[in-house]
Amino acid sequence: MAVRFTDQAPRTLHYTQAYNDSNSDWEKLDPELDMKISEQTVEELAEIFRTPLTGTYNWDYQVQDDRIKKLYNLGKQLNWNADFDIDWKQEVRQLSEDEIAFVHPFHDYDEYLALSAQAQENFTKHMHTWTISQFLHGEQGALLVASQLISCAPTFNAKLYASSQAFDEARHVEVFNKYLDERAGLRYPVNNALKSLLDKILTDERWDLKFIGMQIVIEGLALSAFQAIKAITPDPSLSDLLGLVIRDESRHVTFGVNYLEEFIKTLTEEEKNERAMFAYEACLISRERLVPTDVFEYWGWNQDMARELFLKGNVFADFRKLLFTRVVPNLKRIGLLTPEARLKFEEMDILQYENMANDGDIDWADLSRPLDIKGSPEASSG
């Protein structure tokens, strides 16, 4: 096992055979892009982070008959397996011109129009794989944070629940990685804004801050993002896998809201405001992490112009709205819309979502319904 340790995340793109296979001719890697592709190595690349984690044992093994216990039981029941429960051979539908115009923020941008038809297709693929790559990196972050929550959550039920979440996150990392390796063939490095948020959450010593950052902001955001992509993707396999991941994430966000609601009541006003401002900072970074600057850089586009165009596009505008309609009501529910935070959220133009539905009231029927599993043809015939 050759592990190479590094002090920062790599900036190179990772290609697999599937990228070649899904393109009809070798032009897929334009000559000028080809040069930037890194040599693939068999090494494991690991980046070190240090964390002053304060852990707890729990010695009374007190099983509270509460919502957290029920969520843990659902976690045990609703497992799925990426190898068998998803049909990976489904055909990707061709998008119509109208659909492309709707989802593609660059469809009438000069730099995009100047590309050959093949290169345009590749650019679109890069935008898509960038998005899914950030899902993958976010899921790894969730896996690492969930593992910390097992140690530092102070109650017995929460430790058990966090362990079921850690296994969910492992399956999410697995399934997005499989999609990128076997279907897309391309993986982008982690976006700087997402990485800085993960660094902050993983290296902070306060367990409740990890909960707020991960369960409320990152997962609330991820849930909306998964739903948005599921609604527009022409790939039925991606749609199916997102459906399964969304089921798990709904449980995670519900857990976060229910657990934090009780805990935050015990804090002083000053402590609450400190948490609220952390949540605000996390939202600000989260908005930034949606812009695919790495793709612009890779294709040699003018960063500022491409960014502006992207922010104005239909999908991003809808997406941003969706994103915060999940996070802001949950922050209100757990008691973190302090006066100072309200002003900040108003500046961000997202305070108006505060009274929308939150995840504190559990829809048990929805969380408990059986999984919608299609399965691979091989698995069902064998």
CA quadruple 304, 305, 308, 311: dihedral sign:
negative
The one-letter code for the residue type at 281 is: E
Task: Locate 174 and state its tokens.
Answer: 């697995």
Please, which residue, 174 or 182, has the CB nearer to Fe ion? Answer: 174
CA atoms 358, 359, 364, 368: torsion sign: positive
* Smallest separation (angstroms) from Fe ion to the CB of 79: 14
| Shortest distance (Å) from residue 227 CB to Fe ion | 14
Report the residue number, 212 or 341, with the smaller CB distance to Fe ion.
212
Closest to Fe ion by CB, 169 vs 294, is 169
Supply the minimum distance, in Å, between the C-beta of residue 166 and Fe ion: 10
DSSP, collapsed to helix, strand or coil, labels residue 66 as coil
The position carrying tokens 């997406």 is: 319
281 Cβ contact list (under 8 Å, min separation 6)? none
In the bound complex, what is the minimum distance in angstroms from residue 255's beta carbon to Fe ion?
9
Q: C-beta of 358: minimal distance to Fe ion in Å?
A: 17
The residue ranges that bind Fe ion (CB under 5 A) are 139, 142, 169, 172, 219, 249, 252
The CA radius of gyration of the chain, in Å to the nearest whole number, is: 21
Residue closer to Fe ion (CB basis): 222 or 295: 222
Of residues 143 and 306, the one with the C-beta less far from Fe ion:
143
- Helix pair angle (236-264, 314-333), 10° resolution: 30
Give the shortest CB-220-to-Fe ion separation in angstroms: 10
- Would you say 336 and 264 are in contact if contact means Cβ atoms under 8 Å apart? yes
Q: Of 235 and 249, which has the nearer Cβ to Fe ion? A: 249
